[in-house]
Amino acid sequence: MADNTHKLPENVPGPWYVDDTCTPCRVCLDEAPQLLKYNDDETYVYFFKQPEGEDELAAAENASAICPQNSIGNDGA
Ligand code: SF4
């Protein structure tokens, strides 16, 4: 389960986040390229945009479900 006390600092403010366990394997980028991207040296990914609307929320949920590290979480908002 993602740990909200270990959020990566680049995550845009809001409920959804990637924590510091991201490897990065990149599979989430196929699910939610409109929300997630690599940091500059591609050592992890983070939310550059919070999901808005049903489609983006579904993309975030799919990314969270597929993450093998369980690095993607939300604060339930
Ligand atoms: S699926 Fe999980 S471990 Fe893989 S890049 Fe995305 S957040 Fe990181």
List the pLDDT tens digit at each of the 77 positions of the chain.
899 999 999 999 999 999 999 999 999 999 999 999 999 999 999 999 999 999 999 999 999 999 999 999 999 85
Pocket flag, ligand 1, residue 64 (CB < 6 Å): no
- Domain holding 54: CATH number? 3.30.70.20
**76 neighbors 15 (Cβ within 8 angstroms):** yes
Output 21-29 pairs: Cβ under 8 A, ≥24 positions apart. 21/69, 21/70, 21/71, 22/67, 22/69, 22/71, 23/68, 23/69, 23/71, 25/67, 25/68, 25/69, 27/66, 27/67, 27/68, 28/63, 28/64, 28/66, 28/67, 28/72
Q: What angle do CA 30, 1, 41 make, to 5 degrees?
A: 45
Q: Has residue 10 been placed in a domain?
A: no
In the prediction, which pLDDT does 14 show? 97
| Res 24: pLDDT | 95
pLDDT at 66: 98
Residue at 3 is within a domain: no
Q: Is the CB of 26 under 6 A from ligand 1?
A: yes
Residue 54 covered by a domain: yes
Kindly state if the Cβ of 60 falls inside 6 Å of ligand 1: no
pLDDT at 6: 97
Indicate yes or no: pTM above 0.75: yes
- The number of distinct structural domains making up the chain is 1
In a domain, 1, yes or no: no
The predicted structure's pLDDT at residue 77: 56
Span from the CA of 56 to the centroid of ligand 1 (angstroms): 17
